A = this chain, B = another copy of it.
Amino acid sequence: MIGRLNHVAIAVRDLEKATAVYRDTLGAKVTPPSVQAAHGVTVVFIELPNTKIELLEPLGADSPIGKFLDKNPDGGIHHVCYEVDDIIAARDQLKAQGARVLGDGEPKIGAHDKPVLFLHPKDFCGTLVELEQA
Contact = CB atoms under 8 A, between A and B. Distances in A.
A3 B48 contact: yes
A21 to B, nearest CB: 6
B4 A48 contact: yes
Majority secondary structure of chain A interface residues (helix, strand, loop or mixed): loop
Contact of A127 (B10, B50, B94): B10
Interface string A48-80: 111101010000000000000000111111001
A125 B12 contact: yes
A86 to B, nearest CB: 12
Contact of A10 (B51, B55, B125): B125
A47 to B, nearest CB: 11
